[in-house]
Amino acid sequence: MNDVLPADTANWRRMLDAVQVVMDSYGYQEIKLPIIEATELFKRAVGEVTDVVEKEMFTFTDNEKTSMSLRPEGTAGCVRAGIDHGLLHNQQQRLWYYGPMFRHERPQAGRYRQFHQVGVEAYGTIGPTTDIEVIALCARLWKQLGLLDLKLELNSLGSAESRMRYRDVLMDFLRRNESALDEDSRRRMNTNPLRVLDSKHPQTREVLRAAPQMADSLERKCREHFAAVQAGLDALKIPYVLNPRLVRGLDYYTRTVFEWTTDQLGAQGTVCAGGRYDGLVAQLGGGDVPAVGFALGVERLILLLDKQGVRAPLAVPHVYFCWLGRQHRGLAMRCAEELRDAGLRVMLNAVAQDDLKKQFKRADKSGARIALVIGDDEAAAGIVQVKFLREDRPQAAVARSELSEVLAGLIPRIHS
Ligand code: HAM
């Protein structure tokens, strides 16, 4: 599990602010989903013979002897919620979510056991428009964040029927080459042959170079759909590369699948991935509702923002409030509250015993531009000393009643 420290949380907030802006601009609405669901849901949705379900779920039995799992992804729960609340029946939904996901993988840079996704799921449209729209939404988010050099990889897995057909053709090929495959692929071959295409094993990859192509098994409608998605991306000037080996690690996909990748993050280069999953809603007991979506890995995108030097500034306090003498604590705190009422970010010294030198040290560390001081003399005279920490400017005594006005003049963009 990964801790996110204060130095990084500003980047997270910036990312989520950008997400909110982009979601609003496409009319997607946020849905909040539970972190724990019945294990059965993930088995049915993600697929029994996937790494995620076979090896990576955090699963436990609850008090009612039901097997529950921490969610490894958000799509299954989103469909479950959509069916439970009747959101998918005869209507379109454009939804997004944000939150932690859990996979028991070997941790490394960019791969964690608790990570965060922003996911998008659109329900109820069968044509290529929504495939194009969700990809355009990603592209807009990269632009909004200032991210460069993300590569869009695209493939079509076809309908369930063309996948079955391809499965047979591929099985034939794999059987003929079985002895040259690695052990994992030999096992996979009989349960989920498409996943063999995903193998990272060098020798298996060599064998797969001669494997039949999925594109040749697509039926006419799927080919037309895929061509229309590509034409739509061309029209929007969103570059992509076709990757016939792109199969995805989850079983629910049909037709369009895509991944946004970068070579700046080493092995964990996929920052966002998704596709169409027209059969899943029916498979989980809902109606015949087509769907398309994606999820992006927040940690990976933050790493990439860092690599590309895009860092959000931390929100430093506008003023640091120093006070001397326990008897003035009430006055200092009241005064600080008034300044906050006026929109200032105020950090108040927290230790009554600190001498002024120590307080100025803390003020300097806080990043504030201005320190305010109240001691015996100031309290008696109804004033506050204003000291500039980062400019060569004389200290000034300001009446308490005029303090927020004077500070507002000194800090022109209070809400920045
Ligand atoms: P996924 O490809 O399994 O798809 O995950 C999406 C993204 O989550 C990955 O591209 C990656 O950025 C991030 N991610 C996955 N595992 C980890 C990890 N262990 N540590 C850090 N980041 C990780 C899905 O989850 C689908 N539900 C996406 C989707 C939504 N398809 C349709 N709708």
Mean pLDDT of 73-99: 97
Reported as a single tens digit per residue, the pLDDT across 178-215 is: 999 999 999 888 888 888 988 889 999 999 999 998 88
When the pLDDT of each residue in the chain is averaged and rounded to a whole number, the result is 94
Reported as a single tens digit per residue, the pLDDT across 299-344 is: 999 999 999 998 888 889 999 999 999 999 999 999 999 999 999 9
Contact between residue 273 and residue 70 where contact means Cβ atoms under 8 Å apart: no
Reported as a single tens digit per residue, the pLDDT across 49-81 is: 888 999 999 999 999 999 999 999 999 999 999
Tell me how far apart the alpha carbons of residues 259 and 274 are, in angstroms, rounded to a whole number.
Answer: 7
Mean pLDDT of 162-187: 92
The residue whose C-alpha atom lies closest to atom 11 belonging to ligand 1 is 297
Residues 248, 46, 3, 112: is their CA dihedral positive or negative?
A: negative
Residue 124 beta carbon below 6 angstroms from any ligand 1 atom: no
Tell me how far apart the alpha carbons of residues 318 and 321 are, in angstroms, rounded to a whole number.
Answer: 10
Q: What is the DSSP secondary structure assignment for residue 353, as one 8-state letter?
A: T
User: Exposed, middle or buried by CB within 10 Å (0-12, 13-18, 19+), for 202?
Assistant: exposed
Q: If pLDDT is split at 50, 70 and 90, which confidence band does 160 have?
A: confident
Q: If pLDDT is split at 50, 70 and 90, which confidence band does 233 have?
A: very high
The residue whose C-alpha atom lies closest to atom 10 belonging to ligand 1 is 272
Q: What does the pLDDT read at residue 63?
A: 96
Residue 47 beta carbon below 6 angstroms from any ligand 1 atom: no
The residue whose C-alpha atom lies closest to atom 21 belonging to ligand 1 is 111
Q: If pLDDT is split at 50, 70 and 90, which confidence band does 139 have?
A: very high
> What kind and span of H or E run contains 348?
strand 346-348
Q: Which of 250, 258, 289 to mutate to test the pocket of ligand 1 (most atoms within 8 A of CB)?
A: 250
Q: What is the pTM of this model?
A: 0.91
Q: Which of 300, 302, 303 to mutate to test the pocket of ligand 1 (most atoms within 8 A of CB)?
A: 300
Distances (CA, A) of 54 to 84, 85, 382: 26, 29, 70
Q: What does the pLDDT read at residue 416?
A: 44
Q: What does the pLDDT read at residue 251?
A: 87
Residue 279, pLDDT > 80, answer yes
Instruction: Measure 120 CA to ligand 1 centroid, in angstroms.
Output: 12
Reported as a single tens digit per residue, the pLDDT across 6-55 is: 989 999 999 999 999 999 999 999 999 999 999 999 999 999 888 899 99
Instruction: Measure 150 CA to ligand 1 centroid, in angstroms.
Output: 16
- Which is more confident, 313 or 109? 109
Q: What does the pLDDT read at residue 415?
A: 46
Q: What does the pLDDT read at residue 412?
A: 67
Q: What does the pLDDT read at residue 66?
A: 97
Residue 51 beta carbon below 6 angstroms from any ligand 1 atom: no
The residue whose C-alpha atom lies closest to atom 14 belonging to ligand 1 is 297
Chain length of the chain: 416
Q: What does the pLDDT read at residue 413?
A: 57
Residue 252 beta carbon below 6 angstroms from any ligand 1 atom: no
